[in-house]
Structure 1
Amino acid sequence: MTIRLRVIALLLLLAPTGALAETSYVRAGKLVDTVQGKVLNDQLIRIVDGRVTAVEPYKNAPADGMVTDWSRYTVLPGLMDMHTHLADFGQTNNFAEPLLHSVAETALLSSKNARDTLRAGFTTVRDVGVFRAFGDVALRDAIDKEIVEGPRMTVAGAYITVPGGGGEVTGFAPDVQVPEDMRRGVARNPDEVREKARYIFQHGADFLKLIATGAVLAQGTEPGALEMSEAEIRAAVEEAARNGGYATAHAHGAEGIKTAIRAGVRSIEHASLIDDEGIALAKQKGVWLVMDVYNGDYIEEMGTKEGWPADILRKNRETTDEQRVGFRKAVAAGAKIAFGTDSGVYPHGLNARQFAYMVANGMTPMQAIQSATIESARLIRKEKDVGAITPGRFADMIAVEGDPIANIRLLEKVQHVIKGGELVR
C-alpha cells in the first residue's frame, strides 16, 4: 500500500461516525406532545439516523438536510395497538378456519396485514397470539430485516391454554387431528405451563399470552369461565420474568381477571366483565387494561350479515355492553388503559375506529391518543424508543388533516406515515 493510501485509510478510521449520519427534518404545523398532553404549534423535528434528536419552534429552513413539509397537518407519534393478530387469518363463519390454510399462505397474508396496519398509521403493535406457533416471530423478524413492510412488533409466539380452552382451534369433528404447531402452548398443570413457557421464549417470543378464561370466539368455551388456575398463571409469570419478559392474560370474566392480576400479569386483555373490585385491584397493582371496545359492534354487524355461529353472536351480545360499562368505570377510576383492538377479528388497517368508542365511553381525545402512544409504550417497556416525538426516540410519526383533539375520528384517515425517519406513505 502506498503512503498516500495509508494516510487515506487512517483518516477514514479516525473520522467521527457522526460524519456519516443522515439528517432530515419534519416541519409540523401542530404537534401532539403525548408526554405533556398538549399541542404545540409550528415545530421543527430534527431526525438523525432514524431517531429524533431535537424538537423546537420552527424559525428558518435548515440547510443540512431535507425538510418534509407537514405544516398543514397535525403530527402525532406513530400509533400503537396492543392487541393485534397480524400473523393469522381473520375471523369467519367457520370455527375451523385456521385448518383451511397452509403455513405459506398464512405467511403471505400476514405480510399484507402488516403493510395495511403500518399504512393506517400504526407503527408499533403487540401481536398477542397465533394459531400456528411462531408465525408472528417470523413476521417480526422479516419486518426488522426490511424484507416485509410493517410496524415494529413484539410477539407472543403461541397461546398458553388448557386443553380445549379458549386458545385452541375448536369446532370440528372429534377424529380430526389438529397440527402440532397449533398446540405448542397447551398445558395441563403448573409444571407443564413452565415447560411450555420456556419453550416459547426459546423460540423467539417477547412475552407470554395466557388464556385465563373462555373466549367469545372459541366454540365450547364461555367468557366468564376461569380456565387457568392462579398457580398455573403464576408459573407463567415467573418463567416470563426469568426470560426478561412478562405475561398478559386474555380474561373476560370477573374472577378470571382478578385471579390473573393476583398472579402477577402485566396486562389484562378484553376485561369484558370486570367488576369494581377488579378495577380497584388493577389500579392498585399497576396492571394495564386492554379493552377492545369497538370490536363488539363489528362482530354483531358482520357476524349477523355473514351467518357467524349463533354461539359466537350470543356471547358477543352478553359481553359488549358490559365491557363498555367496565371501561367507563376504569377510566373514571384512573386505571391504566392501553389501546388494543383485536385486529384480525375485523380487517387490519381499521384499528383507528376504536378511538371514537373510547371517547364516547369516558376518555378525552388526548387520553385516547395517549393510550395508543405513550401508555402503550410503557406497557411493552419501550418508552425510550416509541410513544412520543421527543429526542432519543425513533422518528415514527403520522400526519392528519385537521385537529384530532376536536374530532378524534380524523385519526381514521391518516394522510402520511413515517417510520424510523423513512416516509412510508
Structure 2
Amino acid sequence: MIRTIATALALAIAGPALAQSAAPAPGAAPVAAKVTYIHAGRLLDRPGQPPRGNSTIIVRDGRIAEVRDGFAAPEGGAALIDLKDRFVLPGLIDLHVHLLGIGGDPMRARLLALTNDDADDLLIGISNARVTIDAGFTTIRDPGDDPRSIRALRDAIERGDVAGPTIVNGGLMLSVTGGHGDGSNGVRADVAEMIIQKQEQVCDGAVDCARAVRRQIALGAQVIKFAATGGVLSNVSGGLGRAMTPEEMRAIVETAHGLGRKVAAHSHAADGTKAALIAGVDTIEHGSFLDDEAIRLFKEKGAWLVPTMLAPRAAVAQARGGALPPAVIPKAEEAAAAAFESHKKAIAAGVKIAFGTDTGVSKHGDNAQEFALMVKAGMKPADAIAAATVNAADALGRKGELGSIEPGKWADIIAVSGDPLSDVTRLESVEFVMRRGAVHKAGGKRQGFPPQ
C-alpha cells in the first residue's frame, strides 16, 4: 500500500514535467528523417500478385514511403541497401509461437522447470526472439505465455532495447479445470493445490470464463486464446475431445470481442472446432480432425485455420524418443495421423489459411520449415507465402500495417537468394531482415543491435 501511494504521488508530481519534456522546445530544428533506398532485383511487394522486376523501395522513419520501378539513385544523403541479386518480400508472420522457455527439447525444459522461474524464462525468451527475427519472422503472435514476462519482452522490442519480432501477445490460455492448460494436471496433490490457488486462467462456467478473459486483458493480453479441446502435450489422459461447453466458449468470445480482442481456439476434435466456430472464434489453432460440417462452418463464419503442421511432427518424434510423458504418446500419434489429411481437405475446400507453427513445440528458428509442409498438403508456394504475409496480417486485424510492401506500412522486409515462388524452401535461409526500418541481418549475418 505504501509503495502504491508513493508511486501515485511520484506520477502526480512528475506528470507536468514529463509532459513538458515531451514537447519540442520553441524554435528547435526539426529532426531529419532517416531515409533508406533498397534496390530489389525481384520484388514480391503484394503477395498473391505476380512479383515485380527491378524495383526501389524507399523507407522513411521505419515505414514504406514509396515503391518505384527500376533502380532509383538515393537522394539527399539517403542510405542505400543493394539487394539487386536477391528476391525481396515482406517480413514473415507466424501466428503461433511460444517465445518463453526452451523450445524443441521438452526433457530439458521439464528439468529446468525445477530450478527456473519467470526471470529465467524471460532471458531465454530474449534469445528466442533474436533467433526468430534472424529467421525472417518480423511479427509473431504469442498466444500462451506468462502474461507479465511476454508483455515485458513485447515492450522491450517496441522500445528498441532488444532485437526481436513485433509481438502480438496473449496471456495464459484459458482452460477448464482438468483441461489442456490446467497446470495442476498430473502432479501430486499438495503441489496441485498450490497451483490451483494461483491459476487465474482456469475457469468453469460462462460467468467464470468471462472473468478469466477480463483478467488476461488486464494483464496486457492483445489476443485471447482458449482450449476448446484437450491437448497433445498436457499431462493428462483426457484425450483430444471437446473440453468446454458452448456456453463457456460463447462467453469467452463475446467478452473478448467486446473488449476489442480477437480470439484463438486451440482445437483438435471436430466437435470442439465446430462449437468454437459457432461461438464466433477468429482463428482455429491446429484443427487436427475436420469433417465436412467443420469445413462448411469455417467458410460460413469466415474464420481462419492456423494448421501448425510442424507441431505434430515434432511432438511424435519427441514422444517416441521418450522425451514426453506416457500420457502424451497416444494423443501425439492420433493427432499426427489425422492432421495432415484434415489440412489437405481444408486447403482443397478453400478454407482461409493463415501461417502458424506452434514453435516452442518445435525448435525456435525452424519456423520456415512449415512452408514445405503446406505445399505438400496442396498449397502453391505463392499461397503459402500469402498465408504468412497478407493473410496472417488480416487474421491479426493489422492488414493496414503489415503483410505487404506498400506506402504507409511498416518497413518489414526480407530477402532470399533464388525464387521462393518456385522453391518455397528458399525461405528457410533468409539472408536479409529489416524490421521497421532497422536492419537486423544482412549478407546472411546478424547485425549489431540496437543499430547505430
Question: TM-score under structure 2 normalisation?
Answer: 0.87
Name structure 1 gaps, 5 residues minimum.
1-8
Distance apart, 1:266 and its partner CA: 0.4
Deviating more after overlay: 19-28 vs 91-100: 91-100
Are residues 1:388 and 2:414 paired?
no
Asked whether the equivalents of residues 95 and 172 of structure 1 are also in contact (C-alpha less than 8 Å), the reply is: no
The answer as to whether partners of 2:56 and 2:72 remain within 8 angstroms in 1 is no
Paired position in structure 2 for 1:197:
213
1:395-406 map, 5 Å: 395-406=411-422
Shift of 1:20: 2.2
How well do the aligned residues superpose, as a CA RMSD in angstroms?
Answer: 1.9
Work out which of the residue numbers 38, 42, 51 in structure 2 matches 1:30.
42
- Matched residue count: 412
Query: Per the alignment, in what secondary structure is the counterpart of residue 84 of structure 1?
Result: coil
1:225 to 222, 234, 241: 241
| Aligned-partner Cα distance in 2 for 1:316–1:247 | 25
Instruction: Identify the residue that residue 18 of structure 2 maps to in structure 1.
Output: none
Instruction: Tell me if the contact between 1:252 and 1:273 (Cα under 8 Å) persists in the aligned partners.
Output: yes
| Of 76-85 and 92-101, the range deviating more from structure 2 | 92-101
Q: Which residue of 1 aligns with 2:130?
A: 115
Letter in 2 for 1:261: L
The aligned residue for residue 62 of structure 2 is 50
How far off is 1:144 after superposition?
1.0
Q: Is the 8 A contact 2:48 2:383 kept in 1?
A: no
Within the candidate set 267, 270, 284, 1:251 is matched to 267
Asked if the contact 1:72/1:401 (under 8 Å) is kept, the reply is yes
The 8 Å contact of residues 187 and 196 in structure 1, kept in 2 or not, is answered as: yes
Alignment map for 1:271-310 (pairs within 5 Å): 271-310=287-326
* Contact 2:288–2:338 (8 Å) recurs in 1: yes
Q: Which runs of 5+ in 2 are unaligned?
A: 1-24, 442-452
SS in 1 for 2:398: coil
After TM superposition, the structure 1 stretch with the greater mean CA deviation from structure 2, 86-95 or 64-73, is 86-95
Q: CA deviation at 1:289?
A: 0.4
Distance 2:27 2:234 in 1: 64
- 1:356 counterpart = 2:369: no
Structure 2 residue aligned with 1:4? none
Cα distance in 2, alignment partners of residues 79 and 398 from structure 1? 8
Task: Look up the match of 1:6.
Answer: none
Counterpart position of 1:263: 279
Q: In structure 1, what is the equivalent of residue 161 of structure 2?
A: 147
| Matches of 2:173 and 2:435, distance apart in 1 | 29
Larger mean CA deviation between 84-93 and 100-109 belongs to 84-93
Moved more, 222-231 or 236-245: 222-231
Deviations 1:318-341 (A, max 9, x none): 111311111111111111110010
Q: Which deviates further from its counterpart, 137-146 or 68-77?
A: 137-146
Residues 313 and 62 of structure 1: CA distance in aligned 2, closer, same or farther (over 3 Å): same
Percent identity at matched positions?
A: 37
Paired letter, 1:396: D
Q: Would you say the 8 A contact 2:93–2:137 is kept in 1?
A: yes
CA contact (8 A) 1:222 1:315 kept: no
Aligned residue number for residue 95 of structure 2: 82
- Structure-1 separation of matches of 2:376 and 2:308: 13
Give the SS at the match of 2:190. coil
Q: Secondary structure, in 3 states, of the residue corresponding to 2:250?
A: helix
Taking the aligned partners of 1:345 and 1:62, their CA distance within structure 2 comes to: 44
Kindly provide the amino acid, as one letter, of the partner of residue 217 in structure 1: L
How far 1:172 sits from its partner (Å)?
A: 2.1
